[in-house]
């Protein structure tokens, strides 16, 4: 069959793709990726198309400013093939093209992610030269099973010591406050396992990236007017919220603050009548995994992070 591999954008997707193979992205995925990119981001999306316009293979390469944060000279890659078309060299074809793009853009390391339950995909990546470098666990909380009343003593103890809780929405909506918030976020992010060496994203970039999210979900613990802990929770869809970041400044740890701000995040989700909260944690982040288990989160299949060095 005369297959072709072409660049895909939101502008040409509808005219190029008349049918989408199983488990492959649609035009909304492309638009979401393009929205994340800045003028300095290099984003390349490839599609393998049959003569009748069916998308059966998909590849993505991105480097530069991105979320999640990419280290300098690193590129995120992703490849997906319709299950009916696997074992025919399509994934290898896409990967060869992506490696060419990476060399043209002087990327030195390719990174990707694979669910830890997908052994065939993992073995394929290893054959292509990737090595496992991290293991992140997904956890999920069924909101209907959460009883916030059992945690009231935690807040009585913290509040009696002078600690209060607020949200970013409680503060003036000016640039100075937003910069303070993202400075604080970065202070906490740098302590997360796996974040060492990551470049700091520009505050303006983070402000733009999350401008449409409800700031009542950006929970803050405050002591003497100073922020000392945070937990960010954002809407994924009508049923699911995502707890993206929780952290406590080093001098205030071991006081139960991580659990407290996570509970506040759960309470926010309860107010919005969602069914589940999702989160991810690095396998090396034992304290946060422990907090999640205490709160009733159940571990789901994890994700391996893999890298392949392609340049010096």
pLDDT digit string, tens, across residues 57-94: 999 999 999 988 898 999 999 999 999 999 999 999 99
> Is residue 302 a contact partner of residue 137, using CB atoms and an 8 Å limit?
yes
Q: Quote the pLDDT of residue 171.
A: 96
- Residue 312 pLDDT greater than 80, yes or no: no
Please count the CA atoms within 13 angstroms of the CA of 277 that sit on its side-chain side.
30
- Residue 194 pLDDT greater than 90, yes or no: no
Give the CATH number of domain 4-107; options: 2.60.120.590, 3.90.1150.10, 3.40.50.2000, 3.40.630.30.
Answer: 3.40.630.30
- Residue 1 pLDDT greater than 80, yes or no: no
For domain 139-302, the CATH class is: alpha beta
Residues in Cβ contact with 250 at an 8 Å cutoff, skipping those fewer than 6 apart? 191
4-107 and 139-302, same CATH topology: yes
Which span out of 41-55, 137-151, 269-283 was modeled with the highest average pLDDT? Answer: 41-55
Q: Quote the pLDDT of residue 78.
A: 98
> Is residue 231 a contact partner of residue 252, using CB atoms and an 8 Å limit?
no
Strand residue runs (E) in 195-238:
218-223, 226-235
- Where exactly are the structural domains of the chain? 4-107, 139-302
Long-range Cβ contact pairs of 211-214 (< 8 A, separation 24 or more): 214/169
> Is residue 27 a contact partner of residue 10, using CB atoms and an 8 Å limit?
yes
Nearest one of 267, 270, 266, 184 to 229, comparing CA atoms = 184
Round to whole Å and give the CA distance between 161 and 223: 9
E strand or H helix that includes residue 133: strand 131-142
Burial class (CB in 10 A: 0-12, 13-18, 19+), 239: exposed
Q: How many CB atoms lie within 10 A of CB 162?
A: 9
Task: Map tokens 């010591």 to a residue.
Answer: 161
- Residue 284 pLDDT greater than 90, yes or no: no
pTM: 0.78
């Amino acid at each position: 069959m005369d297959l072709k591999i072409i660049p895909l954008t939101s502008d040409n997707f509808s005219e190029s793709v008349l049918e989408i193979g199983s488990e492959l992205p649609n035009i909304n995925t492309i638009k979401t990726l393009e929205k994340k990119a800045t003028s300095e981001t290099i984003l390349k999306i490839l599609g393998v198309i049959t003569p009748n316009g069916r998308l059966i293979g998909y590849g993505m390469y991105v480097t530069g400013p991105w979320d999640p944060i990419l280290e300098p000279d690193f590129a995120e890659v992703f490849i997906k093939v319709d299950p009916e078309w696997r074992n025919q060299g399509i994934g290898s074809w896409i990967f060869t093209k992506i490696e060419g793009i990476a060399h043209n853009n002087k990327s030195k390391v390719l990174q990707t992610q694979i669910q830890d339950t997908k052994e065939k995909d993992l073995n394929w990546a290893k054959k292509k030269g990737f090595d496992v470098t991290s293991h992140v666990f997904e956890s999920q909380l069924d909101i209907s099973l959460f009883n916030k009343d059992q945690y009231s003593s935690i807040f009585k103890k913290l509040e009696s010591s002078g600690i209060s809780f607020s949200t970013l929405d409680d503060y003036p909506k000016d640039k100075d406050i937003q910069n303070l918030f993202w400075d604080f976020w970065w202070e906490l992010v740098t302590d997360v396992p796996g974040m060492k060496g990551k470049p700091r994203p520009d505050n303006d970039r983070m402000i733009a990236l999350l401008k449409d999210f409800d700031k009542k979900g950006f929970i803050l613990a405050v002591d003497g007017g100073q922020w000392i802990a945070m937990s960010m929770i954002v809407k994924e869809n009508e049923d699911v919220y995502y707890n993206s970041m929780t952290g406590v400044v080093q001098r205030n740890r071991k006081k139960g603050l991580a659990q407290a701000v996570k509970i506040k995040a759960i309470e926010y989700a309860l107010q919005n009548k969602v069914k589940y909260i999702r989160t991810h944690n690095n396998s090396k982040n034992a304290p946060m995994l422990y907090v999640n288990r205490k709160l009733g989160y159940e571990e789901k299949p994890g994700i391996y992070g893999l890298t392949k060095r392609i340049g010096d």
